Amino acid sequence: MQVTGKVFLVGAGPGDPGLLTVKALELLRSADVVVYDRLVSPHILDLIPDEVMRISVGKASGRHSVPQDQINQLLVDLCLADTPKPKRVVRLKGGDPFIFGRGSEEALHLHDHGIPFEVVPGVTAAAACSAYAGVPLTHRGMSHGVRLVTGHFLENKRLKLDWRALADPDSTIVIYMGLASLERICNSLINEGMDPATPAVAIQDGTTDRQRRVFGDLATLSKRVKSSRLTAPVLVVIGRTVALAGQLDWFSIDKEHVSDALAGASNF
């Protein structure tokens, strides 16, 4: 069957519609079909014209409504459909398609089936959620690098991470999808020599009006997150720069007393 469409793998950012790129907005307004994930903000979905077909393939941890291989094939099928004009298919993904978004898997599947595609980067949660929490990822004299890792476990298998390399006091660690495994992550870093008093924060629904933050340190964060009953999506930031949140807190929806929460990390 002749190819009659093109797929645009578009990053929607972490939630705040103001962080959507101009190119992403233009594609949403000109699309024929939008295939979107669960983490795409409802406010961003509201920007899609009413006449555009919407297909939800939202996935949550442990509750995959559409398996990844079926999503891959859906994108191909949409581009092979018999239509009078080429179809513009927007694959809308939370954050950035190529940062823990499985966008590269979808792109490879499209390539293997001869389907043309473009990638439109989005603002990833590491950059956006940390900024809205008042936490710089780097700061002169405090952090000279950033490590982005996933804390997601498959079938309760051990995370294949180099904990010794991650336990670097001069870097900031950002953990995606690490809520369920947070205690194991913190303990692994401590066991590899990272100071238990290293400041840390867990951010739920970052950049949105539902944003919540739980501050602590490597030794206490997991217990504080459990008692606060945070729910996914949660981003975790660990490192010296978290201690700057009390001074750089500009968004502050949750009205957290940051300075009190970080009192134990004042030596950083």
Tens digits of pLDDT across the chain (268 residues): 677 899 999 999 999 999 999 999 999 999 999 999 998 999 999 999 999 999 999 865 555 578 999 999 999 999 997 776 779 999 999 999 999 999 999 999 999 999 999 999 999 999 999 999 999 999 999 999 999 999 876 545 667 789 999 999 999 999 999 999 999 999 999 999 999 999 999 999 999 999 999 999 999 999 999 999 999 999 999 999 999 999 999 997 665 556 566 665 544 4
Interatomic CA distance for residues 38 and 212, integer angstroms: 19
**Is-contact 137 174, C-beta < 8 A?**
yes
Q: What are the CA-CA distances from residue 115 to residues 101, 110, 121 (Å)?
A: 20, 5, 19
The residue with tokens 């995370």 is: 159
Annotation says 37 is catalytic: yes
Question: Do both 13 and 37 map to the same domain?
Answer: yes
- Are 75 and 176 contained in the same domain? no
Q: How far is residue 200's CA from residue 262's CA, in Å, rounded to a whole number?
A: 9
Total domains present in the chain: 2
- Domain check: are 37 and 75 in the same one? yes
Which of 74, 96, 120 corresponds to the end of one domain? 120
Q: What is the CATH number of the domain that holds 205?
A: 3.30.950.10
| φ, ψ of residue 172 in degrees (nearest 5) | -105, 135
Q: What is the pTM of this model?
A: 0.90
* Of 6, 59, 195, 254, catalytic: 59
Task: Outline where 32-138 has alpha helix (H).
Answer: 42-45, 68-80, 103-112, 125-132
Same domain, 141 and 260: yes
Q: Which of 16, 37, 96, 205 is catalytic?
A: 37
Please provide residue 251's backbone torsions phi and psi, each rounded to the nearest 5 degrees.
Answer: -95, -60
